[in-house]
């Protein structure tokens, strides 16, 4: 058993890493070990990674395969990109509003050009 795990990687190479920084192929092999019946704590100790990290990977795998409800990694990536874009647009809007104030043109928040009657 030990020789199988050591073919994944040298555990010392991963010391102090953030759970997101492990290569996908490493994660996949760890999940394969767990799926083959090895205990999470055993694999975690053998590889020098947190059992909580392995459990999180297992949970995310179950979500990605539709076995558990939740947000997939691709959905999380899209959400992060959308949030970044919203922040950029809000910053751009703030700049345009400042420019309009400096030029003496006050615009409504909805961008309407007709005054309300």
Instruction: Assign 3-class secondary structure to 62-99.
Output: HHHCCCCCCCCHHHHHHHHHHHHHHHHHHHHHHHHHHH
Name the domain count of the chain: 2
- Are 54 and 12 part of one and the same domain? yes
pTM: 0.55
pLDDT number for residue 73: 85
- Are 6 and 60 part of one and the same domain? yes
In the predicted model, what is the mean pLDDT of residues 96-103? 91
Q: Domain of residue 103: give its range.
A: 73-108
- Are 39 and 79 part of one and the same domain? no
Q: Quick check: is 38 in a domain?
A: yes
Res. 74 pLDDT band, cuts 50 70 90: confident
Res. 61 pLDDT band, cuts 50 70 90: very high
Q: Quick check: is 104 in a domain?
A: yes
CA–CA separation, 34 vs 48, rounded Å? Answer: 15
């Amino acid at each position: 058993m030990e020789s199988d795990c050591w073919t994944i990687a040298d555990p010392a190479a991963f010391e102090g890493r953030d759970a997101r920084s492990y290569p996908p192929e490493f994660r996949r092999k760890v999940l394969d070990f767990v799926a083959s019946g090895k205990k999470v704590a055993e694999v975690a100790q053998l590889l020098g990674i947190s059992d909580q990290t392995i459990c999180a990977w297992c949970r995310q795998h179950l979500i990605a395969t539709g076995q558990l409800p939740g947000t997939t990694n691709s959905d999380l990536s899209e959400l992060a990109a959308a949030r970044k874009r919203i922040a950029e647009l809000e910053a751009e809007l703030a700049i345009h509003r400042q420019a309009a104030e400096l030029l003496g043109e006050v615009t409504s928040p909805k961008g309407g050009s007709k005054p309300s009657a």
